[in-house]
Amino acid sequence: MKTTLTERFGIEHPIFSAGMARVAQAELTAAVSNAGGMGCLGGVSFMPEALIAEIEKIDSLTDKPYAINLLLPVSLTTEDEEAWKPVRELWGRLSEDERGKMAGVEALLTKGAVADQVEIVLDTAPAAVSLTFAAPDWFMKECKKRGIATIALAGSLGKAKEYADAGVDFIVAQGTEAGGHTGYVTTMTLVPAVVDAVDVPVIAAGGIADGRGLASALSLGACGAWVGTRFIATPEAYGHDAFKQRVIDGRFQDTDITFSYSGKRMRAFSNEWTEQWASGGSDASFPAQYAVAGTRVETGYQDGDIAEGMMPVGLTLGLVHEMLPAGEVVRRMSAEAAQIIRGLHDRVL
């Protein structure tokens, strides 16, 4: 397949694996890139030294292009003491044991760690950086200087326009079906609306798990697909087998919208933790809420405690029925989409 996406990066299939915090580490990133798609490292969950090691690992596993995801809202990049106060207070209340379990969110709760991530990523100069929540001007300039493509995730039309004005190279239009932080508009509606509104190539996300999803994305005007949940059920993804199995066995009604992970709107597995949160909660907001729920991330991913863990997941859990190597997911999705597109021509015209 040839689209703006494959042409820009010299890749075979117009498929990105999403930069999922914790889940998308070196193995998944490299496997997707080696299969001719484009892997994306979930960079936000690594403390600076671990991020360097993980990037070295990707480089030892592939010589193909890959991307790295970062979160750069002002609340994480500011040096302002006042802004960090609520985070510090919550962080200070954690026991040693609890801190040991904060691997996935530690960098977001440590003042200066995100700035270090930025420096490391700019020095690495991967083929692309994906951004969520914000595409700050200072960072865009540094990427342009180094020839790093910028990709930004938008869950609304307004956000997509903001990213277009900021000069990003690609916009991911992410529908509410998606796992992780998500908006209100469906993929089917948001993608064509963004395609019409901006003069930037659009990648579709949310609800895409197979060739039918990719073919639909291309029909809606996108130049490729950005896929998260489908890649959880792969041997290369990080996470306990119980978590992956839950994706395979899952039904649509097993996800919920919750603010219990980060303080922002997110689609995740509904379980005892999210229900307990819904009936009680706390008033912590982003990013301080990470210090409230942070230990629960590894409760899910490391310990496989499905009832008490905090695990983002999208509606495609209702479409994922088997564990497959990540490379196989990429190849099948692309081949099936090509077949559908050819078949539609014969069937409809």
Does the protein bind ligand FMN through residue 297 (CB under 6 A)? no
Among positions 229, 258, 260, 262, the unique one binding ligand FMN when judged by CB under 6 A: 229
As given in the structure block, the two tokens for residue 248 are 């395979």
Does the protein bind ligand FMN through residue 294 (CB under 6 A)? no
CB 332 to ligand FMN: min, Å: 15
156-159's contacts with Cβ under 8 Å and 24+ in sequence apart are: 156/183, 156/184, 156/185, 156/190, 157/185, 157/190, 157/193, 157/194, 157/197, 159/183
CA distance 238 to 26: 9
Does the protein bind ligand FMN through residue 306 (CB under 6 A)? no
Does the protein bind ligand FMN through residue 178 (CB under 6 A)? yes
List strands edge to edge, sheet with 180-181: 180-181, 266-269, 255-258
Does the protein bind ligand FMN through residue 312 (CB under 6 A)? yes
**Three-class DSSP category at 135:** coil
Block residue for tokens 């059920």: 233
The residue whose Cβ lies closest to ligand FMN is 228
Q: What are phi and psi of 226, to 5 degrees?
A: -115, 110
CB 162 to ligand FMN: min, Å: 16
Q: What is the DSSP string of 218-282?
A: HHTT-S-EEE-GGGGSSTTS-S-HHHHHHHHH--GGGEEEESTTTSS-EEEE--HHHHHHHHS--
Write the DSSP symbol of residue 340.
Answer: H
Q: How many CB atoms lie within 10 A of CB 346?
A: 7
As given in the structure block, the two tokens for residue 4 are 């703006």
For ligand FMN, the closer of residues 203 and 292 by Cβ is 203
CB 86 to ligand FMN: min, Å: 21
Beta-ladder partners of 132? 71, 153
Site pattern 31..60 for ligand FMN (x: CB under 6 A)? -----------x-x----------------
Q: Which stretch binds ligand FMN (CB under 6 A): 15-23, 30-38, 143-151, 274-282?
A: 15-23
Q: Which stretch binds ligand FMN (CB under 6 A): 46-54, 160-168, 308-316, 340-348?
A: 308-316
Among positions 179, 287, 294, 327, the unique one binding ligand FMN when judged by CB under 6 A: 179
Q: Contacts with ligand FMN: how many residues (CB under 6 A)?
A: 27
For ligand FMN, the closer of residues 206 and 287 by Cβ is 206
Among positions 5, 14, 19, 163, the unique one binding ligand FMN when judged by CB under 6 A: 19
CB 81 to ligand FMN: min, Å: 26
- What residue ranges bind ligand FMN (CB under 6 A)? 18-21, 23, 42, 44, 69, 132, 153, 174, 177-180, 205-208, 226-229, 312-314, 316
